[in-house]
Structure 1
């Protein structure tokens, strides 16, 4: 057999094998992403109470520590990576506030503030704004899942083991 024919055959076989391997890896990643989505959106009980959810969610939590981590997605569901909101809403009558880090730079929105109340400290300095730490969410991650009727439901979850 001619060397060119052999090289061409090897190159074609290598390309076909690489394509097949990529397709299998993409399919496995998609399946894992769909498992993660199904488990994360479980609410009663949460994924923690569903034994079948422990392997894919434990795999996710472990993979997140890798420097090259990318969230497994579920293209069939039309979702990508989840959203993340560290803090819960402020109580009624309070609004989100920021603390000063220095030189006019603001920190993350970790405060709830209430204006319009006169409060005085022990030094007799009066202020019309009071603040408190903003509550943290127990379930800070979420997926927004669209229904066929166009409505969207938000499913909150956490990644604590």
Structure 2
């Protein structure tokens, strides 16, 4: 609730200063922005926010939808990032990389990293030694072999030593994939993450 009050104060100063209007008199775009900025609780736990956000969710399914903008806040339309960052030591990749059989998606929905399973066999086996657990977690373990595009990861003296493996796992999805960057004092922006689940 504290974040909602903070955001409300900032938005009110930007949006309502000339008229002295109240938050409930705000345009739909400002209501959406104000409610999206509510963090604890999220908009679902703020009775004022449920009607404008449900109206937004319903409107998004209609053809020709335009996101309602809060002009005075200068935040524009929200951004969206479906996935969290990959864990340290791994990088994002698409599950369709190298797959010419189906339509390509432009989302990096996997995390990939190269590990040396010989450096710490006990730790490697604890994390990836159970094939059933790997299947449940949709994790793949691929030994990097000589002659592949992965030669950089192989031992140059012994082209294939069986130690280097590629671990691919699903990239974590964000609980709150939408965000607004709301300007504060002196042009500095603060990012507020939110979701559109009812």
TM-score for the superposition, normalised by structure 1: 0.72
Cα deviation, 1:52-75, whole Å, max 9, x if unaligned, reads 000100100110110111000001
Question: What secondary structure, in the 3-state scheme, does the structure 1 residue paired with 2:48 have?
Answer: helix
Give 1 or 2: higher strand fraction. Answer: 1
Structure 2 equivalent of residue 18 of structure 1:
none
Large movers: runs of 4+ above 6 Å: 119-122
Cα deviation, 1:21-42, whole Å, max 9, x if unaligned, reads xxxxxxxxx7000000000010
User: Where does the alignment leave 5 or more consecutive residues of structure 2 unmatched?
Assistant: 1-25, 118-123, 132-141, 145-164
RMSD of aligned C-alpha atoms?
2.4
* Number of corresponding residues: 130
Structure 1 equivalent of residue 176 of structure 2:
139
Structure 2 equivalent of residue 25 of structure 1:
none
Q: Which moved more, 1:43-52 or 1:148-157?
A: 148-157
Instruction: State the distance in 2 between where 1:60 and 1:117 align.
Output: 49
Aligned residues of 1:117 and 1:130 also touching (Cα < 8 A)? no
**Aligned pair 1:155/2:185, yes or no?**
no
Greater Rg by CA: 1
1:47-58 alignment runs, 5 A limit: 47-58=43-54
Instruction: State the distance in 2 between where 1:93 and 1:130 align.
Output: 11
